[in-house]
Amino acid sequence: MTEEMKVEMWLSGTFFFLCKHTKCCTTGYFFMMLAYQLAINFPSIQLDVNRAILKDPSLLDPNKSLCKQMEGLFLQPLQKLQSRLRECLPLMFIVDALDECTHKSPNEYLSESRDEGESESELSELISLLAQALHDPDLPLIHILVMSHSEAHICEAMQSEDVHPLLCKIPVKILGEGVAATISLDGIDVDEDIYRFLEHSFGKLQSCSPTFLQPMKDQIEKLAIRVGRRFIVTSTMMKFIDD
């Protein structure tokens, strides 16, 4: 068991929503992706995942009930890990850009043929199901980090009776319960993080190319403000400068 645990990871699965990507714009592939990553990170449950799919191939249908997918592809494999992970670090799952879930394929993205209410209902169901997983006593200790812009329907789902008690800010003291965490992307902490990222990135550039002129502190501060708290803009800009 000790040898097995050396190859089994604390970060157990990630899903990044992307509105213009076929398999990342809806929740239909969410639990499929997590099941795949769980099977990679925890080889001992690969047979369990395979058996679940052989027993019900429709689990790989993106139109399958989200609840059924979660049961067959996520909860049941995790239940197999509970006793083995009891003394280990909690499992972490990261869900990024929740607001990018559109319930539309890329071909439909510019059309109005799909009701926005469908994606809102889809996300509300996903959030509720993840909360159920955090409450499940038959699972190993898990944490779910969810990142999203503060869309009204997402905030409403997060404030529901079954989800709200699980929400907390980071850092958090682990007390033996599953934790869903929220981080504000609208505060001064983000400005400071972007400043540190820029400072570190410029420092790396100078170490690779001694002739590179390092910007002054006030210039980095102004740059951090101008990117508007958007890490993707900051990262893209630094890659452009590096090239």
Over the stretch 79-138, which tens digit does the pLDDT of each residue have?
A: 988 877 776 778 889 898 888 887 554 444 444 444 556 668 888 899 999 999 988 888
Do 115 and 30 fall into the same domain? yes
pTM across the whole model:
0.63
Do 153 and 226 fall into the same domain? no
Do 6 and 99 fall into the same domain? yes
Highest averaged pLDDT of the listed ranges 41-50, 109-118, 205-214: 41-50
Range of 194's domain? 188-242
Do 17 and 117 fall into the same domain? yes
Do 200 and 148 fall into the same domain? no
More confident residue, 71 or 144: 71
- Determine the pLDDT at residue 103: 57
pLDDT band at 70 (very low <50, low <70, confident <90, very high): very high
Do 18 and 52 fall into the same domain? yes
Total number of domains in the chain: 2
Share of the chain above pLDDT 70, in %: 78
Among candidate residues 164, 182, 200, the one where a domain is terminated: 182
Digit-coded pLDDT (tens) for 168-180: 644 444 444 444 5
- Determine the pLDDT at residue 117: 61
* Mean pLDDT value of segment 35-44: 92
d(CA 4, CA 163): 34
Do 168 and 135 fall into the same domain? yes
Altogether, the residues listed in the chain come to a count of 243
Do 172 and 195 fall into the same domain? no
Among candidate residues 182, 204, 233, the one where a domain is terminated: 182
Do 176 and 84 fall into the same domain? yes
Do 126 and 167 fall into the same domain? yes
> Are the C-beta atoms of residues 131 and 163 closer than 8 Å to each other?
yes
Cα 97–chain centre separation: 7
Phi, psi of 93 (to 5 degrees): -120, 135
Least confident of 24-28, 74-78, 147-151: 147-151
